[in-house]
């Protein structure tokens, strides 16, 4: 009988240890996969942020006949690159140089460079043109090493340039060693965005705006968004031109053969890489299994308690797996939403640049008009960021745009209306419209002379529609004969299109009057969580 009891308890103990280890293995595998997905998403977010800056720069440089060093330096400084651009060496401009233009290019380098710089390597004539580094900001000792280097002479860089020119999209190179590294062999990469100018029969390549990256710094900057925790992270240039897997960066050294590893394909600017996230230590027998082994062999009376503990552990593992799956789904949805919002914002910026350029008579007028409208977008973006891109009050949007004029004793500003919340895109459109109306009033209307008054009133005309009325009085008489300006185009075309309602804009002699109809979209619960809550309600 004692032997039978011992064998029975031993069998139960062995089965229990097997169940615990299996559950622990699945839990750790789920955590590993969730962490790999999160880090891959962080890497792509870093690359998308860098690509967005390059797209904006390409749109600006394509409108300029030449790219002076001071203008390029001012452009980079005006970007006010924030934490989303960490890991990059900066932003550079590389112009297309024909063989007959090399002497002229070297003269430009001698005039603009702080230190003595020249074109290199020697042009061999095996390529139709050269793409040397012309400017690279910020102006640091590391970045000066790259000035004058013909990137088109390198096959890896040239392949990325050709692909970027073909697709007109930001494109990353395979693993390379940056010129900034000097004697070091630290791997890195570059992201190129082509800049075109009108030419005979279409468009011609003007050059490339690009960003160089040290791979180790790029990986560490992404891990600031998603900490690696107790895992090791490695980033590979998967099957480059030589058919090899080049290790770009890693957070630890050692052999990965005996470790559990989760891999993900990460697309960095149109170039697929491989991310490997691994456990730092070999998997062994867990503490719970050791306790089960010891006490299961010695204490038969704990059998029922042990079974109960195993059941509870299995339930917790199941809940943890479900939670990790939900979090991964939410991250993917948020990443897609972020990409959508960035594309929409860039489309708005490009439209504003095109219309402002069409209406401007000189560069100063273009820069002033563009600065004001971009700042209007920025002010409304700040409001949306404070509300986590949720609904934003109408009054807060109008307050942000009229703040420079609200406390001036020479004129009065009146804002009256109920508490109404707007969706993010509608708040952006309202902010642009109010900015244009306020700018026009400050130049020519009620805000341009003492005694003028601006009244902004809004009210709900239905459950899903709010009416906003702008009215100016006490200003100079409104000219009835006038040219059609950018502000009128922006309000009657872009804003009306975004709001899906016509805009009523009257230029009465007594003052400008504008009526906007804005949809009121009721907030709804995040779809993933809503489905989860509904499922729990059905189960109960």
In the prediction, which pLDDT does 527 show? Answer: 47
pLDDT at res. 529: 46
Minimum mean pLDDT range among 38-52, 83-97, 225-239, 516-530: 516-530
DSSP state of 122: -
Q: Is the pLDDT of residue 70 over 90?
A: no
Q: What is the pLDDT of residues 434-478, one digit of tens each?
A: 888 888 888 888 888 888 899 999 999 888 888 999 999 988 888
pLDDT of 89 above 60: yes
Helix (H, G, I), strand (E, B) or coil at 205: strand
What does the pLDDT look like over 255-265, one tens digit per residue? 555 578 889 99
Q: Which whole number is the average pLDDT over 63-71?
A: 87
> What is the predicted pLDDT for the residue at 491?
76
Q: Which residues are CB-contacts of 14 (< 8 A; sequence separation ≥ 6)?
A: none
269-309 pLDDT, tens digit per residue, is 999 999 988 886 555 666 776 777 777 767 565 555 555 66
pLDDT score of 369 more than 60: yes
| Token couple for 349 | 């910026």
Mean pLDDT score across all residues of the chain:
79
Backbone phi and psi for residue 123, each to the nearest 5 degrees, phi listed first: -70, 125
Q: Under 8 Å CB-to-CB from 338, ≥6 apart: which residues?
A: 45, 48
Q: Which residue has the tokens 């914002």?
A: 345
Most confident of 106-115, 341-350, 394-403: 394-403
Q: What percent of the chain has pLDDT over 70?
A: 74
Percentages (nearest 5) of helix, strand, coil residues in the chain = 50, 20, 25
CA distance 260 to 232: 10
pTM above the 0.85 mark? no
Residue 354: pLDDT over 80 = no
Cα(29)–Cα(18) distance, rounded to whole angstroms? 16
Burial 118-136 (b: 16+ CB within 10 A, else e): ebeeebeeeeeebbbbbbb
Q: Give the pLDDT confidence of 485-532 residue by residue, as tens digits.
A: 656 777 776 677 777 888 888 888 888 899 988 888 765 544 444 555
What was the pLDDT predicted at 384? 57
Q: Which long-range contacts (CB under 8 A, 24 or more apart) does 279-286 make?
A: 279/28, 279/32, 279/230, 279/231, 279/232, 280/230, 280/231, 280/232, 280/252, 282/258, 283/25, 283/28, 285/17, 285/21, 286/20, 286/21, 286/24
């Amino acid at each position: 009988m004692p032997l039978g009891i011992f064998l029975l308890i031993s069998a139960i103990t062995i089965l229990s240890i097997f169940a615990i280890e299996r559950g622990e293995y699945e839990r750790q595998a789920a955590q590993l996969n969730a962490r790999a997905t999160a880090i891959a998403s962080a890497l792509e977010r870093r690359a998308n942020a860098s690509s967005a800056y390059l797209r904006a720069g390409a749109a600006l440089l394509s409108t300029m006949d030449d790219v002076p060093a001071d203008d390029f330096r001012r452009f980079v400084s005006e970007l006010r690159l924030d934490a989303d651009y960490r890991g990059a060496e900066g932003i550079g401009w590389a112009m297309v140089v024909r063989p007959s233009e090399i002497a002229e290019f070297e003269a430009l380098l001698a005039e603009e460079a702080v230190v003595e710089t020249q074109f290199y390597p020697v042009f061999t004539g095996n390529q139709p043109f050269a793409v040397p580094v012309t400017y690279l900001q910020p102006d640091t000792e590391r970045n000066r090493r790259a000035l004058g280097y013909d990137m088109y002479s390198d096959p890896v860089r040239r392949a990325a340039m050709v692909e970027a020119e073909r697709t007109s999209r930001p494109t990353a190179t395979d693993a390379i060693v940056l010129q900034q590294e000097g004697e070091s062999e630290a791997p890195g990469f570059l992201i190129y965005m082509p800049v075109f100018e009108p030419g005979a029969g279409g468009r011609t390549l003007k050059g490339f705006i690009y960003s160089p990256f040290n791979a180790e710094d790029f990986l560490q900057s992404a891990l600031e968004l998603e900490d690696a925790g107790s895992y090791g992270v490695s980033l590979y240039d998967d099957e480059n031109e030589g058919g090899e897997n080049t290790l770009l960066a890693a957070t630890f050294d050692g052999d990965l053969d005996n470790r559990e590893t989760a891999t993900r394909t990460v697309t960095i600017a149109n170039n697929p890489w491989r991310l490997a996230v691994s456990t730092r230590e070999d998997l062994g027998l867990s503490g719970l299994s050791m306790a089960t082994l010891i006490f299961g062999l010695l204490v038969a009376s704990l059998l029922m308690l042990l079974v109960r503990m195993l059941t509870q552990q299995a339930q917790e593992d199941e809940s943890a797996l479900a939670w990790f799956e939900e979090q991964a789904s939410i991250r993917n949805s948020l990443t897609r939403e972020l990409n959508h919002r960035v594309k929409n914002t860039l489309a708005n910026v490009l439209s504003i640049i095109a219309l402002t350029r069409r209406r401007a008579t000189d560069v100063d007028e273009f820069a002033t008009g563009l600065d004001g409208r971009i700042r209007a977008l920025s002010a409304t973006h700040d409001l949306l960021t404070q509300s986590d891109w949720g609904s934003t009050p109408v009054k807060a949007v109008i307050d942000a745009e009229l703040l420079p004029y609200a406390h001036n004793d020479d004129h009065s500003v009146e804002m009256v209306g109920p508490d109404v919340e707007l969706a993010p895109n509608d708040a952006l459109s309202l902010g642009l419209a109010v900015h244009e109306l306020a700018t026009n009033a400050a130049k020519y209307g009620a805000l341009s002379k003492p005694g003028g008054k601006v009244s902004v009133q809004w009210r709900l005309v239905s459950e899903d529609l709010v009416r906003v009325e702008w009215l100016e009085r006490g200003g100079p008489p409104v000219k009835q004969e006038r040219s059609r300006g950018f502000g009128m185009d922006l309000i009657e075309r872009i804003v009306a299109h975004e709001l899906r309602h016509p805009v009523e804009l009257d230029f009465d002699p007594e003052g400008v009057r504008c009526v906007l109809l804005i949809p009121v979209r009721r907030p709804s619960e995040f779809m993933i969580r809503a489905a989860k809550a509904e499922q729990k309600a059905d189960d109960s």
